[in-house]
Amino acid sequence: MGVEKILFYLFAAIMLASATAVITVRNPVRAALFLVLTFFASAAIWLLLEAEFLAVALVLVYVGAVMVLFLFVVMMLDVNLARLREGFARYLPIGVLIALLMITVLVMIVGPEQFGLAKFAEPLRHDADYSNTRELGLILYTVYVYPFEIAAVILLVAIVAAIALTLRRRPYTKYQNPDEQISVKRDDRIRLVDVPTEQRK
Amino acid sequence: MHFDLNQLSLALPEILLLSMACVVLIADLFVTERSRGATYILAQITLVAVFLMVLATAIDKPQLAFSHTFIRDGLGDLLKLFVLGIGFMVFLYSKDYLKSRDVCFGEFHVLALFGILGMMILISANNLLTIYLGLELLSLCLYAMVALQRDSILASESAIKYFILGAIASGMLLYGMSMIYGMTGSLDLTVINQNVVQHKTDMVLIFGLVFVMVGVAFKLGAVPFHMWVPDVYQGSPTAVTLFLGTAPKIAAFAMLMRLLVYGLMGLYAEWRDILIVLAVASMAIGNIVAISQTNIKRMLAYSTISHVGFLILGVLSGTAAGFASAMFYTLTYAVMALGAFGMIILLSRFGYEAEHIDSFKGLNQRSSWFAFVMLVLMFSLAGVPPFIGFWAKLNVLMALVSVNLTWLAIVAVVFSIIGAFYYLRIIKLMYFDTAQDSQSLECHTGMRVAMSLNGLAILLLGFKPDLLLALCLQVVPG
């Protein structure tokens, strides 16, 4: 238990520190990299909860794919930092007020009094041969098949919506048509002109 | 952990709708710009087929499927039939509007079909997870539809507002759901309803309830979570406003019923007080602010807010009669709003949007029949007898009085009278002012027939309100 506790606090501390860094560092690229670190730390905490599959998926999907894509976007966009910080001082009091309110509520609600060991017994630890992936696989297509299918439809709608909102058909854009390119014949490109020879005078 | 294939038959309407929506999505790729009508016809066939499918597979007793994440019952079936019928009318009304404006025609229909699927999922949800996913599916379609008019700054602005506020509301809802899950140990609404009683005094559960209700109030557009409603209604293309302001209200009502009545009835005393605040604030803000609006879409948006207040009143009475009256109110409101927004489309033409209330000036001289239809709509929305809107209001008030909330009924009546002003103003403009616009109305015959039917339905239902009310009473939980 001792090691686990130390690990938990270590990763929790890393997570909190990097999450704070995400919103405080000036450089957006660094902020994105700190977000990667936050995801890593939360993946480690999921490992402690015996949710290996989710931890691996978090690293693969978020760190590997989403954040890399995000980094590209951040690098391509010209983000005006000065404008982002405008009004920071003006909104600070109300921001602090809301933050304090939220923290109070959170401590009241999810503190040890409500969810402590006295109210909820510690869940049983599984054996070494327990596979989180197998358990997920068993229920994903049986118990949760309906929500799973809906989630798939949501992703489809997201694709349709994204394309509908961003794809613009520009009739004047010049583009290559590979289909025509490969089916081109010699006669389409070369025209043999019969030039009448003239008599040298 | 086996999967019984027979339960699929309960969800046949949803399966059919999903398959057909995918077919429409693909078919739209291959139709040329000139034969755009094919997408429209296919979408309409889909709705009719799903409507018939709901009727054909209807069952007497509520039945659960997919490990209790899905419930098929009379309440769901009746709401689904209305959603599908309203979807059909929306497509009919918006066909010409979309064709003549720079709005993606195929995408509108595809997204609307997926949105209707989201509503159907939401209506028959019996699990917090399904409620959330259905809601997200519906919202995602709506966000995109609001932004479909891509070159309009107003539309983009309202889409961004709607999206950000909607995302926050979804977050709140999810947070509340997680607390309810933490306390009751289940996502299943039936199980939650059983477990909720023993945790009644728990602080966490009350907080969860509050967060969930914030989410629901946002989706309904109840004050103080109404800020998005006027901007989104005004900013979106009228065809989208038409869709947004009618069918999703039915889905939001279903969500309110499923969460509070099916899931958290044990906390009735707690949520009743919250609902009272929401209802009174909605009726007050909605009716008073609507008076000063000159944009008809904005005015109708505030009118929606006030009607949502009335709908909430029916639910908070906590009796079967109250739920039935709220359901009756929602269904009739959706039909009335359909007519009112449809009328804006009818008066608009290419290059001219009838958004200002002055567009209704002297409508009687231009077309006395449609002026009469609008008169019926406005009287009904204001709650003047014998139109259907009057019976809807009366039933809600009777339900309130029967549970000794007479003061609330009086407040509701006072605000309704204040609200009557802005509906009557439209009637005054139509009949007593001279027309600024002398052009005759441009619209196809189908639209004229549908609009007339819509007005007549409100008129005739007003003479026979018992039919629909009896249906509502039959399906609500006791």
In this model, does residue A49 exceed pLDDT 90? no
Please tell me the predicted confidence (pLDDT) of residue A68.
Answer: 87
* A59 & A27 share domain: yes
* A40 & A60 share domain: yes
Query: Which residue's structure tokens are 């007549």?
Result: B456
Distance CA B250, CA B453 (A): 21
Please tell me the predicted confidence (pLDDT) of residue A84.
Answer: 64
Tell me which chain A residues have a C-beta less than 8 angstroms from the C-beta of B144: 157, 160-161, 164-165
Residue B66 backbone zone (phi > 0: left; psi -120 to 50: alpha; other: beta)? left
Query: Is residue A197 one of the residues assigned to a domain?
Result: no
Distance CA B283, CA B280 (A): 5
Tell me which chain B residues have a C-beta less than 8 angstroms from the C-beta of A161: 111, 140-141, 143-144
State whether residue B207 sits within 8 Å of chain A by CB: yes
How many beta-carbon contacts under 8 Å exist across A and B? 82
Query: Which residue among A138, A151, A156 sits closest to B133, beta carbon to beta carbon?
Result: A151
Q: Residue B311: phi, psi to the nearest 5?
A: -60, -40
| Residue B450, C-beta contacts closer than 8 angstroms, at least 6 positions apart | B89, B92, B93, B342
Tell me which chain B residues have a C-beta less than 8 angstroms from the C-beta of A109: 179, 203-204, 207
**For a pLDDT cut of 70, what percent of chain A falls above it?**
94
Query: Is residue A118 one of the residues assigned to a domain?
Result: yes
Query: Is B199 in contact with B183 (CB distance < 8 Å)?
Result: yes
Q: What is the number of other CB atoms lying within 10 angstroms of the CB of residue B16? A: 17
Query: Is residue A176 one of the residues assigned to a domain?
Result: no
Query: Which residue among B117, B121, B144 sits closest to A161, beta carbon to beta carbon?
Result: B144
* A18 & A52 share domain: yes
The end-to-end CA distance of chain B, in Å, is: 33
Instruction: Give ipTM to 2 decimals.
Output: 0.92
State whether residue B66 sits within 8 Å of chain A by CB: yes
Please tell me the predicted confidence (pLDDT) of residue B374.
Answer: 93
Q: Residue A176: phi, psi to the nearest 5?
A: -90, 140
Please tell me the predicted confidence (pLDDT) of residue B477.
Answer: 85
Query: Which residue among A143, A153, A164 sits closest to B1, beta carbon to beta carbon?
Result: A143
CATH number at residue A20: 1.20.120.1200
* A63 & A119 share domain: no
Helix or strand holding residue B63 (H, E): strand B63-65
B475 burial type by CB count under 10 A (0-12 exposed, 13-18 middle, 19+ buried): middle
Distance CA B339, CA B453 (A): 10
Tokens matching residue A18: 């990097």
Distance CA B364, CA A6 (A): 79
Query: Is B382 in contact with B419 (CB distance < 8 Å)?
Result: yes
Distance from CA of B334 to the nearest CA of A (A): 25
| Residue A39, C-beta contacts closer than 8 angstroms, at least 6 positions apart | A58, A59, A62, A63, A67
Query: Is B425 in contact with B294 (CB distance < 8 Å)?
Result: no
Tokens matching residue B456: 């007549």
Query: Is residue A3 one of the residues assigned to a domain?
Result: no
Per-residue pLDDT 10s for chain B (478 aa) are: 566 778 888 999 999 999 999 999 999 888 877 778 889 999 999 999 999 999 999 888 899 988 899 999 999 999 999 999 999 999 999 988 888 887 778 899 999 999 999 999 999 999 999 999 999 999 999 999 999 888 889 999 999 999 999 999 999 999 999 999 988 889 999 999 998 888 777 888 888 999 999 999 999 999 899 999 999 999 999 999 999 999 999 999 999 999 999 999 989 999 999 999 999 999 999 999 999 999 999 999 999 999 999 999 999 999 999 999 999 999 999 999 999 999 999 888 877 888 888 888 888 888 889 999 999 999 999 999 889 999 999 999 999 999 999 999 999 999 999 999 999 999 999 999 888 777 777 777 888 899 999 999 999 888 988 889 999 999 988 7
Where in the sequence is the domain holding A28, given as residue range(s)? 8-79
B66 and A146 within 8 Å at the Cβ level: the answer is yes
Higher pLDDT, B368 or A1: B368
| DSSP bridge pairs for A64 | none
State whether residue B202 sits within 8 Å of chain A by CB: yes
- Prior bond of B224 cis (ω within 30°): yes
Please tell me the predicted confidence (pLDDT) of residue B417.
Answer: 93
Q: Residue A9: phi, psi to the nearest 5?
A: -65, -35
State whether residue B134 sits within 8 Å of chain A by CB: yes
Task: Kindly report, residue by residue over A6-42, the tens digit of the pLDDT.
Answer: 999 999 999 999 999 998 887 888 888 999 999 999 9
Task: Kindly report, residue by residue over A182-200, the tens digit of the pLDDT.
Answer: 888 888 888 888 888 877 7
Give the A-side interface with B, CB within 8 Å.
Answer: 105, 108-110, 114-115, 138-139, 141-147, 150-151, 153-154, 156-158, 160-161, 164-165, 168
Please tell me the predicted confidence (pLDDT) of residue B6.
Answer: 81
* A118 & A141 share domain: no
How many distinct structural domains can be found in chain A? 3
The identity of residue B332, as a single letter, is T
Query: Is residue A199 one of the residues assigned to a domain?
Result: no
* A73 & A40 share domain: yes
Please tell me the predicted confidence (pLDDT) of residue B244.
Answer: 94
Nearest CA in chain A to B131: A147
Query: Which residue among A139, A144, A153 sits closest to B114, beta carbon to beta carbon?
Result: A153
Higher pLDDT, A112 or B307: B307
Residues 3-62 in B contacting A (C-alpha not used; CB under 8 Å) = 3, 11, 18, 22, 25
B110 and A147 within 8 Å at the Cβ level: the answer is no
* A24 & A65 share domain: yes
Distance from CA of B191 to the nearest CA of A (A): 16
Tell me which chain A residues have a C-beta less than 8 angstroms from the C-beta of B22: 156
State whether residue B129 sits within 8 Å of chain A by CB: yes
* A154 & A109 share domain: no
Nearest CA in chain A to B2: A142
Distance CA B456, CA B387 (A): 10
Nearest CA in chain B to A109: B204
Query: Is residue A90 one of the residues assigned to a domain?
Result: no
* A64 & A101 share domain: no
Q: Residue B64: phi, psi to the nearest 5?
A: -105, 150
Please tell me the predicted confidence (pLDDT) of residue B36.
Answer: 80
Query: Which residue among A139, A150, A165 sits closest to B137, beta carbon to beta carbon?
Result: A150
Query: Which residue among B137, B147, B182 sits closest to A154, beta carbon to beta carbon?
Result: B137
| Residue B89, C-beta contacts closer than 8 angstroms, at least 6 positions apart | B338, B342, B450, B454
Q: What is the secondary structure of B352-386 as a DSSP string?
A: B---BGGGGTTHHHH-HHHHHHHHHHHHHHHT-TT
Nearest CA in chain B to A107: B204
Q: Residue B72: phi, psi to the nearest 5?
A: -115, 115
B1 and A105 within 8 Å at the Cβ level: the answer is no
Query: Is residue A89 one of the residues assigned to a domain?
Result: no
Interface test with A, best of B67, B132, B142, B177 (most A CBs within 10 A): B67
Distance CA A150, CA B225 (A): 27
Distance CA A141, CA B334 (A): 37
Nearest CA in chain A to B124: A146
Distance CA B87, CA B109 (A): 10
Domain segments of chain B: what residues? 8-475
State whether residue B214 sits within 8 Å of chain A by CB: no
Rounded mean pLDDT of chain A? Answer: 86
